[in-house]
Amino acid sequence: MPKRVPSMPETLLWAPQAWVGGRWASQVLLQAGTDGCWTRVEPGVDMPPEGAQVLAGAVMPPLVDAHSHAFQRAFAGLAERRDSVSDDFWSWRDRMYGVALRITPAQLRAVAAHLYTELLAGGYTQVCEFHYLQHQPDGQPYADRAELMWALADAADEAGIGLTLLPALYERAGFAQPVLRPDQRRFFTSADDVLALQRAVRGAGRPLLDAGCAVHSLRAAWPASLARLASRSDGPLHIHVAEQQAEVRDCLAATGCRPIEWLLRHAAPDARWQLVHATHSMPSEVEGVAGCGAGVVLCPGTEANLGDGLPDLQGWLAHDVPLALGSDSQVTRSWPEELRWLDYAQRLLLQQRNVSARPGHEPSTASRLFQRVQAGGAAAAGFARWGLVDGARADLLVLDDDDDGLAGLPPSHRLDGVVFAAPARPFARVMVAGRWVALSDAGRRARHRAAMQALWASEA
C-alpha cells in the first residue's frame, strides 16, 4: 500500500454534485483526515457547514495512470515522419533508443516533473512508472543503482502526484538473443536487481511513493528469472505482453505458445499481475486471464500511435477482467482522451456506436468504462480503495462546468460530456491526499524546455 502523507490539518469540502457510487449525487460533504484519506463522504447535506470549502463545480474521482515511461515524454512528436518503405513499432523503438541512450538524471527529472504536472491536469493523481532505464549511458551502473528512480521520485514529489515505481526485469534482447543489444545497454537487470530496487524505494519512507515490480516482456526475461521475481516480490507485478504480432510469432516459434497462453501455463498469474497491452489475444486466453484474476492495462493513444492493433475490448468487458489505462509513450496525457480513443477504435472496427455500453444495465459508455478503469487502475497501483469513499486517499477532480464542452449539459450527462464532448481541459482543480496541487508551473516548463533543447540540439 502506498505510504500516506505526514500528519496534516483536516480538510472539509462541500460540492454541489459529486460522482459517488457510480452516479452523480447532490450536495456532498467530503472530509479528509490528518492522514490524507477520506473519513466522510456524505451526499444530501443541504448546506455547507461552517468552515467547509465550497467548491465551484462538480467533483469526481481521478484515475491512476497504470503504465508510464516518463523518459519517452522527451520523444513525443519526434517519430512522426517516415523515411523508409516500412514504419512500425520496431522502427519506432530503434529511434526511441536514441533518447534512452542520452538522457541524464537531471534531464529525466526535468522531463518527468513536467510530464507529471501534465498528467495531473489530465485527471490522473497516481502514476505507475514502468522503469527499465537503469544505468549510465555507457551501460555501467551508477554508484547508487537507484539513481534514475530517485530522479523520477523527486519529479513526482515536485509535481505532487503519487508514484508507484516498477523496476523492470530486462536480461536479453529476444527469445533467440541471449544478451542485450548495444543500444539496450542501459536496461540490464536481474531478478535480484529488481527486488533490491523495490526494497530501496520502499525503505525510503517517502510519502505518496511505493514500488512494485515489472518484467519488461517474455522476450526480455529468462523464464527462471521471471519465476524467481514472481515468487519473491509483493505488490503489483506488471509485464508488457502480446503488444505486437511479431512478438506473438516469435513467442510461438520459441516456446510453442502465444505470449498470454505461455503466462497462463507457466507463470501462474494472479491478482497481482497486470498484463500491459494484451492487444493480441484469443478467446481462451481472455477466459484464462479472467479465471486467474489478473488485470489488463490498455494504452489506446500509444497503441494507435504505434500501429499495435486493437484489443478484444468486448471480450475483456464481458469476462469482467479488471481494466486500467496508461499513458505509456506520452503521446496522450489525459484519461478522457484515452477513453475516447478506446471506444472510438471499437466503433470503427465494428461500425457501431456506443460499443462499450451495456443496454438495460449500463447505457452510458463513459460511465461503464470509467468505473471499470477506476477500479482496475487502483489495483494496478496497489490500492485496496480508490475514489470518493471512506478510507481511500483524499484525491479528487473539480470539473470546470463553464468549459465549452460541458456548459449547458444536463448533470446526468456530465461524464458523457467529459469523455466525448472533447473539452480541452475539463478539470479546474486537482487534490491529492487532501492537498490542492498546481496544474501548471513556469519553472517546471522552463526546465523541461531546457532539457529538450539539450537532448535535441542536433535536430533540424
- The C-alpha cell at 42 is 456524505
Are residues 187 and 180 in contact, defined by beta-carbon separation less than 8 angstroms? yes
| From 65, 193, 328, 400, active-site residue | 328
Angle, helices 105-121/442-455, rounded to nearest 10 degrees: 130
Phi and psi of 53, rounded to 5°?
-75, 125
Q: Where are the beta strands (DSSP E) in 318-399?
A: 323-325, 396-399
* Residue-by-residue DSSP string for 415-452: HHHHHHS--S--EEEEEETTEEE-S--HHHHHHHHHHH
User: With left for phi above 0 and alpha for psi between -120 and 50, is residue 292 left, alpha or beta?
Assistant: alpha
Q: Is 328 a catalytic residue?
A: yes
* Cβ neighbours for 213, distance < 8 A, ≥ 6 positions apart: 166, 167, 168, 169, 194, 195, 198, 229, 233, 235, 236, 237, 238
Are residues 130 and 276 in contact, defined by beta-carbon separation less than 8 angstroms? yes
Are residues 178 and 219 in contact, defined by beta-carbon separation less than 8 angstroms? no
Q: Is 277 a catalytic residue?
A: yes
- The C-alpha cell at 121 is 491536469
Q: How many CB atoms lie within 10 A of CB 402?
A: 11
Measured between its terminal Cα atoms, the distance across the chain in Å is 46
- The C-alpha cell at 313 is 475490448
Q: How crowded is the C-beta side of 400, counted as CA atoms within 13 Å? A: 15
Amino acid at 221: A
| From 240, 277, 280, 448, active-site residue | 277
* Cβ neighbours for 368, distance < 8 A, ≥ 6 positions apart: 317, 356, 357, 358, 362
Distance CA 85, CA 63 (A): 39
Would you please indicate which residues are annotated as catalytic (active-site) residues? Answer: 277, 328
